[in-house]
């Protein structure tokens, strides 16, 4: 059974940093691209960032480019999101999600339950 | 930059009836289009990929059609568990979601 478990969310002040982690199990992690998708309270889904199986292809939404960094450790079956210079508009539930393919070119076939990030003073 | 537009924003349909949801891309995404269902307090669930292929375990009452810029999700006979928010997503380029359609009970 595919499991994606996010951690690292919490309350943080504007301008500060936070690092999210996602522990994956139930599939061969290094065979698939991975994503972070967020959802602000009461709003729709927003793709944040994606990374191919070997970290050779990485992409970011314009709203986070230059502030967020995605990475993965295939030896640890883990995905990460380093979030710097956080803003109030980054407040959201952050989902870790698995791509159906090895590159960032497929649908998202599995989702975690999310970790909540609240940016507020 | 691609823009994904879903319509309508809210759709009210009676149980047992058919629901038709639309998704339009501002430029062609070929058949690289997925549909997701999200219920309150839950993560999204993949329903359709490749514009028309049902994901594993998805009932046959869900069907997708279209290619290029115009796509449709049809639910043939609405069950109580189908009332939710539906999102389309293109993956022809970096992923992008539509703003969602809320399907509510009439």
Distance from CA of B34 to the nearest CA of A (A): 6
If pLDDT is split at 50, 70 and 90, which confidence band does A104 have?
confident
β-bridge mates for residue A45, sequence order: A39
Whole-number pLDDT of residue A36: 98
Residue by residue, pLDDT tens for chain B (106 residues) are: 899 999 999 999 999 999 999 999 999 999 999 999 999 999 999 999 999 999 999 999 999 999 999 999 999 999 999 999 999 999 999 999 999 999 999 9
Q: Is A89 left (phi over 0), alpha (psi -120 to 50) or beta?
A: alpha
- Give the C-alpha separation, A87 to A108, whole Å: 27
Distance from CA of B90 to the nearest CA of A (A): 8
- Give the C-alpha separation, A47 to B97, whole Å: 7
Average pLDDT, chain A: 97
Chain B contacts to A (CB-CB under 8 A): 32, 34, 36, 38, 43-46, 49-50, 55, 85, 87, 89, 91, 94-100
Give the DSSP per-residue string, B1-27. Answer: ---EEEE-SEEEE-TTS-EEEEEEESS
If pLDDT is split at 50, 70 and 90, which confidence band does A105 have?
confident
pLDDT in tens, A29-76: 999 999 999 999 999 999 999 999 999 999 999 999 999 999 999 999
Residue A103 has pLDDT above 90, yes or no: no
């Amino acid at each position: 059974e595919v499991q994606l478990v996010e951690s690292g969310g919490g309350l943080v002040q504007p301008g500060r940093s936070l690092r999210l982690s996602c522990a994956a199990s139930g599939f061969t992690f290094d065979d698939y691209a991975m994503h972070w998708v967020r959802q602000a309270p009461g709003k729709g889904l927003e793709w944040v960032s994606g990374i191919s199986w070997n970290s050779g292809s990485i992409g970011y939404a314009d709203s986070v480019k230059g502030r967020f960094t995605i990475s993965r450790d295939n030896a640890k079956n883990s995905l990460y999101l380093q979030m710097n210079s956080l803003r109030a508009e980054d407040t959201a539930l952050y989902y870790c999600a698995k791509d159906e393919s090895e590159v960032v070119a497929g649908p998202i076939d599995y989702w975690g339950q999310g970790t909540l990030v609240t940016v507020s003073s | 930059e691609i823009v994904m537009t879903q319509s309508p924003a809210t759709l009210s349909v009676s149980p047992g009836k058919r629901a038709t949801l639309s998704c339009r891309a501002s430029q062609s995404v070929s058949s690289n289009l997925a549909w997701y269902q999200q219920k309150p307090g839950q993560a999204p669930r993949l329903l359709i990929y490749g514009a028309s292929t049902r994901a594993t375990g998805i009932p046959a009452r869900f069907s997708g059609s279209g290619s290029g810029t115009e796509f449709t999700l049809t639910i043939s006979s609405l069950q109580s568990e189908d009332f939710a928010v539906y999102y389309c997503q293109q993956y022809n380029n970096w992923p992008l979601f539509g703003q969602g359609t809320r399907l509510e009970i009439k």
